[in-house]
Structure 1
């Protein structure tokens, strides 16, 4: 017995809608409304909090819940090493879900809603996919729209995976390592945290600029493509 691709897609869409509906029914969206609430909930779950954190992040972030809620909550609960590992696992899982939903489930619908500020990177993705994914993650981080844009682009899955992983490392490391200095016990930004955040933004932009410069230099050193009709 075979199942049509259309039937599989409808099944996945239904599954996603059911999960989101259940999350809304049981008040999950209210519980992750702020880092303090999420942290309190996960602490009460003990060892299961690790799994709950990753699953909630994976399912909710690609469909509207800000990833910053999870990133802020993690260092409020666990040591920075654990917070970094769980934040990376959740961020990558959410990215995969958002990417896969756009590529395999709702490609046409998503493609029509990609903003022009991302579409301008189409040519760069065709020339140097990995470096461009890294730069986009450094600039836009875990934006739901970026998940979707990469999903409808020509970027291969594993290029997206590894490029996203590299692009996420600086932000997740700094937020996990300096979490207690950046946020208070309620998850609100500390008054003296702005210089650190400015430094994080500056570092991300510098890395992105260096990546772009390296790629432009590499492309400049490549021979031009042969003119159509010329002998090979």
Structure 2
């Protein structure tokens, strides 16, 4: 087993251990979502700024954007939640774009194959429309984020296409978050049967991790077979 697989297994083990510890020590009884929400609200503009910065900087490195999109309506009013989600989503696009362009653009541009270069030319000549369509379809998928950064698309069309392209899905997700907020008000977290669902969460996490590792190992094995000419 390679080093990367061992690292993933270790990470899963740590997460499962933390969940088990949280359940065993009855730490869930100390969780007070209302107090956390009040603290962020009382922070005023600083709370909103912290949310936008965290969303912008963490999503490109693997933190699922849905975590932020669904959390905002639990804290702020629907209008404020949408605005913060929108700004944060644009922020994560700009941050990814800047990082990729600063670090890897020159190196990638020298090695683009012909087919990809034709698409890159389209990004340069029709940047706004191309970025708009990419955002409408792929939203903030990390691969697309970084690909735009290493492309020749200009910053103006990129930002405008991103602002407009992410708006529909951001609105829909915020509306879903509002529904979740209403449901949680009727079913507070403190009233959940943690003694029953705690073990289920641990087992579910282990099963998902095991399936994920098996899929990755199978995919890698098939890729090696194909590259070596032994595959179908």
Normalised-by-shorter TM-score class: 0.5 to 0.7
Q: Is the radius of gyration larger for structure 1 or structure 2?
A: 2
User: Do the aligned partners of 1:135 and 1:167 also contact (CA within 8 Å) in 2?
Assistant: yes
* Equivalent-residue separation in structure 2 for 1:98 and 1:166 (angstroms): 17
User: Cα distance 1:181–1:158, how it changes in 2: closer, same or farther (>3 A)?
Assistant: same
**1:51 partnered with 2:46:** no
Deviation at 1:174, TM superposition (A): 2.0
Q: Looking at secondary structure, tell me which structure has more helix per residue.
A: 2
* Equivalent-residue separation in structure 2 for 1:63 and 1:39 (angstroms): 28
Structure 1 segment 63-78 matched on structure 2, within 5 A: 63-78=61-76
User: Do the aligned partners of 1:39 and 1:74 also contact (CA within 8 Å) in 2?
Assistant: no
Deviation at 1:109, TM superposition (A): 6.8
Pick 1 or 2: higher relative contact order, CA cutoff 8 A, min separation 6: 2
What CA RMSD, in Å, does the superposition of the two structures yield over aligned residues? 3.6
Q: Deviations over 1:20-58 (max 9, x none)?
A: xxxxxxxxxxxxxxxx99997454232232121111112
Q: Match of 1:81?
A: 79
Listed as ranges, the gaps of 5+ residues in structure 2 are: 1-30, 190-232
Structure 1 segment 1-232 matched on structure 2, within 5 A: 41=36, 43-45=38-40, 46=42, 47=44, 48-107=46-105, 121-181=119-179, 184-185=183-184
User: Do the aligned partners of 1:42 and 1:49 also contact (CA within 8 Å) in 2?
Assistant: no
Tell me the SS of whatever aligns to 1:106: helix
Deviation at 1:121, TM superposition (A): 4.0
User: Cα distance 1:37–1:90, how it changes in 2: closer, same or farther (>3 A)?
Assistant: farther
Detail structure 1 runs of 4+ shifted over 6 Å in the superposition.
36-40, 109-112, 117-120
User: Cα distance 1:127–1:51, how it changes in 2: closer, same or farther (>3 A)?
Assistant: closer
Deviation at 1:98, TM superposition (A): 0.3
User: Cα distance 1:152–1:41, how it changes in 2: closer, same or farther (>3 A)?
Assistant: farther
Number of matched pairs? 151
Listed as ranges, the gaps of 5+ residues in structure 1 are: 1-35, 188-232
Q: What TM-score, normalized by structure 1, do the two folds share?
A: 0.55
